[in-house]
Amino acid sequence: MDWLGAMNKAVEYIEDNINDKLDIEKVSKIALSSPFHFQRMYHIMTGVTIAEYIRRRRLTLAAQDIISGEKIIDVAFKYGYETPEAFTKAFGKLHGISPSAAKEPGAKLKAYPRLSFQISIKGDKKMDYTIIEKESFSVMGKKTKITMVDGQNFSLVPKFWDECMKDGTYQWACSNAGKLGIMGICLDFVKDTEEFYYMIGVENNCEELPKGYVSATIPKATWAVFEAVGPLPEAAQDVTRKIFAEWFPSTGYQHDCAPELEVYPEGDYNSPDYRCEIWIPIKK
């Protein structure tokens, strides 16, 4: 499929240019996506950020070069480290030993394999969805930076919700909610980082925003809407993973360049019967 082939071509480009500085815009174009959504898609499907994948692959190849007899200082510069000390620290974090120890006979090293994307046909649960066309609209709320390093986003987003429930933001959102209700919104990545902005908000109905609140525009888009049933955040996170790992590869759709929405009706978020929606912008 085009989507699957595009993701594999993006990985192939990365591997062919593994020693060079990553041009995320070029890679995302190969993957038929925007930089934001390529990085988010990659992370959800693999469990690591694109930057972490490159780090692990470089250090895997660096170990092979050291074993073959190349000087450690040359290998360090080859794979983009400014100093041998920085290289030694990164090498030890992945392999558990120093670069010089890697030269010793019988040294145990870790190999992080080249990644490829394939369709996984499980057939255990169907994925019902609805296609919705929606005009551009404005949202307002509070936002924060979320890092994806080491999967921290899966704990930081729920923590942000907890903070907003304690500081009155959630109550403010409930009193100002429109037709869509309360939303969690994945906005743009912070350029050249592994961070993105996440907003808790509602449709904008204020002429003047309260202090500490911001607004953003959600562009006109076509959305695939999926229902998640169960306690949060696990239910929403599980459905999101399935969308990227199973639904996209098995359909003719691609991710479009718009934020992703999590739509949360009022209710008991811990209930096994709680229902929310995941809105994913799509295009053919």
User: What confidence tens digit (pLDDT) does each residue in 146-200 have?
Assistant: 988 878 888 999 999 999 999 999 999 999 999 999 999 998 777 767 788 999 9
pLDDT tier, 253 (very low <50, low <70, confident <90, very high otherwise): confident
> Residue 241's pLDDT is what?
87
* CA–CA distance, 269 with 236 (Å, rounded to integer): 11
Question: Among 3-7, 66-70, 93-97, which is the least confidently predicted range?
Answer: 3-7
> Residue 220's pLDDT is what?
95
Residues of the chain with CATH 1.10.10.60: 2-103
In the predicted structure, residue 129 carries a pLDDT above the cut 70: yes
> Residue 186's pLDDT is what?
92
> Residue 254's pLDDT is what?
83
Tokens of 155: 């704990």
In the predicted structure, residue 124 carries a pLDDT above the cut 60: no
> Residue 42's pLDDT is what?
87
**pLDDT tens column, 207-251:** 788 889 999 999 999 999 999 999 999 999 899 988 887 888 778
Four-way CATH pick for 129-283: 3.10.290.10, 3.40.630.30, 3.20.80.10, 3.40.50.10240: 3.20.80.10
Identify whether the C-beta of residue 66 lies closer than 8 Å to the C-beta of residue 75: yes
pLDDT tier, 121 (very low <50, low <70, confident <90, very high otherwise): low
Residues of the chain with CATH 3.20.80.10: 129-283
Question: Which CATH architecture does the domain made up of 2-103 adopt?
Answer: Orthogonal Bundle (1.10)
